Amino acid sequence: MDKKKSTETKAEEPKMSELDTLLEGFESAKTQMSNSLREISKMIQKEKEDLETEKQEWKKLENRLQTTQNSSRIKLDVGGTMFATSKSTLICEKGTYFEAMFGGIYSTSFLFFSFFITNTI
């Protein structure tokens, strides 16, 4: 019976050694994958931060363009008296004559002209 146990033990030793080698390989692969995932995560985080910064820069540019567009000077000749004001002032009240005239999408091309306004019916 002792011979049988020793034979079984000897037979199990190579199997255990193989299993230990496989386990070490899996642990090594696991560590490598974990490190790779950390690096990828860092790269994604950096890209996200860069995109957020770029988004904020575009938003600033959009705000500047909006401000520039809305503050465009418009010259009005009212009964022979010249007035200058901004587009944003003229279109601030919805449903008005000036909002209809200057608030549209195509009205920005007319901002280089002066407009004559009269009270004749």
How do residues 43-77 score in pLDDT, each as one tens digit? Answer: 999 999 999 999 999 998 887 777 665 557 788 88
Q: How confident is the model at residue 14 (pLDDT cuts 50, 70, 90)?
A: low
Statement to judge: residues 58 and 108 lie in one domain: no
Helices (H), 71-102: 87-90, 97-102
Q: Same structural domain for residues 55 and 78?
A: no
**CB atoms < 10 A from the CB of 37, how many?**
10
- Indicate if 83 and 31 belong to the same structural domain: no
Q: Do 97 and 38 share a structural domain?
A: no
pLDDT of residue 8: 55
Q: Could you tell me the CA-to-CA distances from 20 to 6, 7, 32, 81 in Å, in that order?
A: 21, 20, 18, 97
Residue 26 has pLDDT above 90, yes or no: yes
User: 41 and 2: one domain?
Assistant: yes
Same domain, 51 and 110: no
The structural domain count of the chain equals 2
**Within its chain, how far is the Cα of 17 from the centroid?**
54
pLDDT at residue number 10: 59
Could you tell me what percent of the chain has a pLDDT over 90?
30
Q: What is the spatial distance between Cα 15 and Cα 10, in angstroms, rounded to a whole number?
A: 9
Cβ-proximal residues to 103 (8 Å cutoff; 6+ apart), any chain: 91
Domain of 52, in residue numbers: 1-70
